[in-house]
Amino acid sequence: TDYESILVETTGRVGWITLNRPEALNALNSTLIREIVEAATAFDADPGIGAIVITGSAKAFAAGADIKEMADQGYIDMYLNDPFARWGEFGRLRTPVIAAVAGFALGGGCELAMMADLIIAADTAKFGQPEINLGVIPGIGGTQRLPRAIGKYKAADLILTGRTMGAEEAERAGLVSRIVPADDLLTEVAAVAETIASKSLPVVYAAKDALQAAQETALAEGLRFEKQAFTAAFGLDDQKEGMAAFRDKRPAEFTHR
Ligand code: HXC
């Protein structure tokens, strides 16, 4: 498929989506959003893909929603023709997603990173929700996912002042899974993605699903969900293989069954 604003590549069982609007620091316009969602859902439908990486450039993961595209929209325009409606599909992918973030991840860019399962950041990464400076508030999850990730008080500091935070602060706060030197970002991310993609696909789906439940439900309901998903794993060939391999002191060879 030919895309205008992203690059798409497959290496082994890993699907890569690279945002490619350098002239606008990967600002998320409607074309870019549609293409990301299309590429990601295509990877998600492919059982040959066990992990998805979304990344930008050295300067910007994404500098937010496209301000120039939004500036003249009115209330009714945003309601009837919501350019962000399809992000829901991205948030519901079964396949684990790693956001590989270098440079700016601001506004919708930070929110896109937070839709991923892991955020691996270059030491150059800068996160923030600067919408308040533009006379709006975050609109694709920032006010909900950020406090869940870093707590209410740190999230309020970012969302109400519009300041940005660097990779170190973001890691301390719990927004970032790991920090790596900028030059090593894609190598490190590839290794993590390959590790995830080497596991049993249905078990990875179950683990992601249960992690999602932790974000969305109260503890008792989440524990019930986990118990069901854990028990269901015992119906899989891969559980038999994983535990047999441990007993035999050899690496497991999962068949994704
Ligand atoms: C449109 C953008 C853009 C954006 C950058 N550009 N961010 N265009 N939307 N969000 C464009 C600039 O206009 C410029 O193009 C080019 O990219 C390079 O940007 P510069 O500003 O020249 O770069 P620099 O001086 O290095 O500053 C980088 C920056 C700054 C600090 C990241 O660009 C910036 O503050 N951008 C906006 C960040 C922001 O407010 N994001 C939140 C958006 S609202 P030209 O052609 O002019 O030179 C949002 C809401 C989400 O995300 C929720 C919606 C429901």
State the complex-level ipTM.
0.98
State pLDDT tens for residues 14-45: 999 999 999 999 999 999 999 999 999 999 99
Report the side by side order of strands in the sheet with 51-55: 6-11, 14-19, 51-55, 97-101, 118-122, 178-180
**How high is the pLDDT of residue 85?**
86
**How high is the pLDDT of residue 162?**
98
**How high is the pLDDT of residue 83?**
81
Of the residues 27, 39, 51, 65, which is catalytic? Answer: 65
| Residues within a 6 A CB radius of ligand 1 | 24-25, 27, 63-68, 84, 104, 106-108, 130-131, 134, 138-140
State pLDDT tens for residues 151-170: 999 999 999 999 999 999 99
Which portions of the chain are predicted below pLDDT 50?
none
**How high is the pLDDT of residue 81?**
84
Helix (H) or strand (E) holding 43: helix 30-44
**How high is the pLDDT of residue 15?**
98
**How high is the pLDDT of residue 18?**
98
**How high is the pLDDT of residue 1?**
72
65 assigned to active site: yes
**How high is the pLDDT of residue 128?**
98
User: Model-level pTM greater than 0.95?
Assistant: yes
**How high is the pLDDT of residue 189?**
98
The contacts of residue 94 (CB under 8 Å, 6+ apart) are 44, 205, 208, 209
**DSSP assignments along 89-154, one per residue:** HHHT-SS-EEEEE-SEEETHHHHHHHTSSEEEEETT-EEE-GGGGGT----SSHHHHHHHHH-HHH
